[in-house]
Chains A and B, each alone.
Chain A
Amino acid sequence: ILNVEQSPQSLHVQEGDSTNFTCSFPSSNFYALHWYRWETAKSPEALFVMTLNGDEKKKGRISATLNTKEGYSYLYIKGSQPEDSATYLCAFMEYGNKLVFGAGTILRVKS
């Protein structure tokens, strides 16, 4: 059974703080790594889909990096805002197309 681990489990930060989370995944049979943001009472939405080792993606204040050789991805949020409060999920895709999700990192940003 594939194991995708996310850390930390939860994070409380002040508005304006920058933060980052980690996603660890198997380094073999890699096909893609997905990051999703899941706000309370809403549907999870894709932030990034990353496929290449060394890939870096950015969307506004949020960015992500990918290291497929060692099996990890970092998600960074610069200058956290209360609207960034959500659960951040990463998911590993190996050949065969199914996603295996981590348990998520819960971020709470206090104003």
Chain B
Amino acid sequence: DVKVTQSSRYLVKRTGEKVFLECVQDMDHENMFWYRQDPGLGLRLIYFSYDVKMKEKGDIPEGYSVSREKKERFSLILESASTNQTSMYLCASRSLAGDPSYEQYFGPGTRLTVT
């Protein structure tokens, strides 16, 4: 079974803090993704990584950066947290083996509150 884990289920941070959200997958997947989910909106892509040390901006990258030093780990960094970054953050991974239309495997999410 593929497992995607995220470092925290709930996190409360103060405005201006630097925040790290960690994601680890155990299936040697090449692709990894960070999304945020807000009420009434679909999952929106923040950043994704095709492979180690490779990253590309998604649809809403402003205020975020990412790091992928090892294949299994993809970190999302909020350089200076703001209240509008209060959200549910989901990490996902996908294998490139075979058909690239294959499903993504998600972590359980981190609910971040910035006060």
Chain A residues packing against B (C-beta within 8 Å): 1, 4, 9, 31-32, 34, 36, 41-46, 49, 51, 89, 91, 93, 97-104
Contact = CB atoms under 8 A, between A and B. Distances in A.
Interface residues of B, number: 24
A104 B100 CA distance: 23
Contact of B101 (A32, A101, A104): A32
Q: Which of B45, B90, B103 gathers most chain A CB within 10 Å?
A: B103
A68 to B, nearest CB: 13
Contacts, number: 52
Contact of A100 (B42, B104, B109): B42
Contacts of B90: 43-44
Q: Which 7 A-B pairs have the closest CB atoms?
A: A101-B42, A46-B103, A32-B101, A101-B43, A43-B106, A44-B106, A103-B42
B24 to A, nearest CB: 13
Contact of B104 (A1, A99, A104): A99
Main secondary structure of the interface of B (DSSP, over half): loop
Contact of B42 (A31, A32, A89, A98): A89
A93 B101 contact: yes
A4 B48 contact: no
A5 to B, nearest CB: 9
B108 A49 contact: no
A4 B44 CA distance: 12
Given A1-B59, A89-B43, A103-B42, A97 B106 contact: no
Contacts of A31: 101
Given A1-B59, A42-B108, A103 B103 contact: no
A98 to B, nearest CB: 6
A8 to B, nearest CB: 13
